[in-house]
Amino acid sequence: MIQFYFLSVFFNLIGGYALVAGRDERKRGAIDGVRETLRDPTARLVVGILTTVTGAFKLLTVVRGDIPVVGDFLPAVAGLAVGATLLLEVYRSPVGEKLFGELEGDAETASQAVDTGDGSAARDAPRRAAKSRVERFLRDNDAAVGLAGMIAGLIHFLFPTVLFL
């Protein structure tokens, strides 16, 4: 669907810009208002949710004449990564703790799990470690993920029917 094509390009660019320009303190004039808006935790949450959902739907829908899944793979994965990074950033920030409260499945709470003797703590350890590795990678490289999302959105806009783009 052409609507998801537009949304994928748009949210990859906006979400990527939110990650890249999120820490920049320099004044740039005309785009300063956009940068300030994208620093707001609520705006980051909304952009993160919309980018993630658009990336997921982009895997399921294709532009007419394109190859399913493979044709839009990179923009969809970029959208999922950018959206997940924005959501993790909001969720793990002090503002996110105020918004969402302390959840039972939180990484800090899970790392302090008590062994009940039935082996459940040992079974869940690899899953917690994998989740923390992915989370650490996304949060440590948020500017690179944002730049990759912006590049994927721009290339997807310029070459809509190229395989993998």
78 vs 139: which has the higher pLDDT: 78
Is 90 exceeded by the pLDDT of residue 81?
yes
Could you give the percent of the chain with pLDDT greater than 70?
62
* Nearest residue to 15 via CA among 81, 66, 105: 81
CB-neighbour burial class of residue 115 (10 A; exposed 0-12, middle 13-18, buried 19+): exposed
Is 90 exceeded by the pLDDT of residue 73?
no
Amino acid found at 97: E
Question: Please, which residues have CB within 8 angstroms of residue 115's CB and are 6 or more apart in sequence?
Answer: 121, 122
What was the pLDDT predicted at 30? 66
What was the pLDDT predicted at 41? 87
Assigned token pair, 142? 């948020």
**Average pLDDT, whole number, for the chain?**
77
Is 60 exceeded by the pLDDT of residue 145?
yes
Domain boundaries, the chain: 2-107+124-158
Judged by DSSP in three states, 130 sits in helix
List C-alpha distances in Å: 96 to 13, 86, 91.
Answer: 23, 11, 4
165/161 Cα distance (integer angstroms): 7
Question: Please, which residues have CB within 8 angstroms of residue 109's CB and are 6 or more apart in sequence?
Answer: 102, 103
- pTM equals 0.72
6/122 Cα distance (integer angstroms): 45
86/131 Cα distance (integer angstroms): 16
Could you give the percent of the chain with pLDDT greater than 90?
27
